[in-house]
Amino acid sequence: MHVDFLPDIILGNIFSYLSLQDLRNSSLVCKRWYSILNDEDNDVWRLHCFHKLAEEVLSSDLLSSTPTYKTKLKAFHHAWNPEDCSRNIYIKPNGFTIHRNPVAQSTDAVRGKIGFSHGRHAWEVIWEGPLGTVAVVGIATKEATLQTHGYIALLGSDDQSWGWNLVDNHLLHNGDSQGNYPMLNNAPKYQVGERIRVILDCDDNTLAFERNYEFLGVAFRGLPEKLLYPSVSAVYGHTEVSMVYLGPPLDG
């Protein structure tokens, strides 16, 4: 039987065995294949999710902001990088959460698997353990340091990283405080478990944040035109931080 006569469900099963790169190429073959693969919640993406993602994360609410199987899979491929973190950090089996080991006098950081230099990107960060004295959310280049002695705001301590310290609401870059953030009187402190949405606009070279779906304003401008990675730095032992990539931010 010619492939053109195969039912969609059979084609979908065949597609489920292809790599993501092969799926991208397959979507360009014809309108029918594009239509099948453009359905982000069909069996192709469902089976890929079940092959790649841990059952515990699929059954939890961690990925509640990624409504389709394809967006969940995309989030997994953008998650924390187990090969690009401090030696005092490991990635939990769910693939999305870091755990910082209780090592004294150390500050530790991690980067995401994929960096960005074009387009607009959003991801959520959820701090699921105590913040300690310093807990910084932001972005870093590949040149930024991921471990240092003492308890400091590592993310934002050099010219290769930009961060928001959730403990004291200060913006940090190149070792200096860039002022309070957000620019509100008596701005509320971060509560453990809240979702912080990070918005990187590589076209406008800006970094901004949202909390509880409230836009807090642009935090940094004039970002360099180089690969910028999601990043956090932490000091508290046994604290855990999750990151979920969302894709282009929704305006309005």
pLDDT score of 16: 74
**Within a domain: residue 71?**
no
Average pLDDT, the chain: 91
Say how far apart CA 245 and CA 79 lie, in whole Å. Answer: 7
**60 and 83, same domain (yes or no):** no
Long-range contacts of 55-64 (CB under 8 A, 24+ apart): 56/93, 56/94, 57/94, 57/95, 57/96, 60/94, 62/94, 62/96, 62/97, 62/126, 62/242, 62/244, 63/96, 63/244
- List phi, psi (to 5°) of 24: -60, -45
Q: Is the pLDDT assigned to residue 1 strictly greater than 60? A: no
| Percent of residues, the chain, with pLDDT higher than 90 | 69
Please compute Rg for the chain using Cα positions.
Answer: 20
pLDDT score of 4: 67
pLDDT score of 5: 63
pLDDT score of 29: 77
**11 and 95, same domain (yes or no):** no
**45 and 83, same domain (yes or no):** no
**104 and 181, same domain (yes or no):** yes
**44 and 85, same domain (yes or no):** no
**Within a domain: residue 72?**
no
Summarised one tens digit per residue, pLDDT across range 108-151 is: 999 999 999 999 999 999 999 899 999 999 999 999 999 999 99
Q: Work out the average pLDDT over 77-94.
A: 97
Residue with tokens 């402190």: 189
Say how far apart CA 211 and CA 215 lie, in whole Å. Answer: 7
**Within a domain: residue 74?**
no
Say how far apart CA 201 and CA 189 lie, in whole Å. Answer: 25
Q: Could you tell me the pLDDT band of residue 3, with boundaries at 50, 70 and 90?
A: low
Q: Is the pLDDT assigned to residue 161 strictly greater than 60? A: yes
pLDDT score of 227: 98
**35 and 103, same domain (yes or no):** no
**228 and 188, same domain (yes or no):** yes
**57 and 148, same domain (yes or no):** no
Q: How many domains does the chain have?
A: 2
Q: Could you tell me the pLDDT band of residue 230, with boundaries at 50, 70 and 90?
A: very high
**Within a domain: residue 8?**
yes
**Cβ atoms within 10 Å, residue 6:** 13
**121 and 56, same domain (yes or no):** no
- List phi, psi (to 5°) of 158: -140, -175
- List phi, psi (to 5°) of 120: -120, 135
Q: Work out the average pLDDT over 65-85.
A: 95
pLDDT score of 32: 79
Q: Work out the average pLDDT over 174-189.
A: 86
Q: What is the pTM of this model?
A: 0.90
Q: Is the pLDDT assigned to residue 8 strictly greater than 70? A: yes
pLDDT score of 75: 96
Last residue of a domain, one of 65, 87, 118: 65
Whether omega for the bond prior to residue 93 falls within 30 degrees of 0, making it cis, is no
Q: Which domain does 220 fall in, by range?
A: 79-247
Q: Is the pLDDT assigned to residue 156 strictly greater than 60? A: yes
Q: Could you tell me the pLDDT band of residue 9, with boundaries at 50, 70 and 90?
A: confident
Q: Residue 116 has what DSSP assignment?
A: B
**154 and 236, same domain (yes or no):** yes
**Within a domain: residue 15?**
yes
Summarised one tens digit per residue, pLDDT across range 18-34 is: 777 787 787 777 887 77
**Within a domain: residue 231?**
yes
Report yes or no: 113 and 79 within 8 Å, Cβ to Cβ: yes
Q: Measured on CA atoms in the order 48, 51, 53, 56, is the torsion positive or negative?
A: positive
Nearest Cα to Cα of residue 37 among 79, 66, 58, 68? 68
**Cβ atoms within 10 Å, residue 1:** 6
Q: Work out the average pLDDT over 214-231.
A: 96
Nearest Cα to Cα of residue 113 among 75, 155, 159? 75
Q: Is the pLDDT assigned to residue 2 strictly greater than 60? A: no
Report yes or no: 44 and 36 within 8 Å, Cβ to Cβ: yes
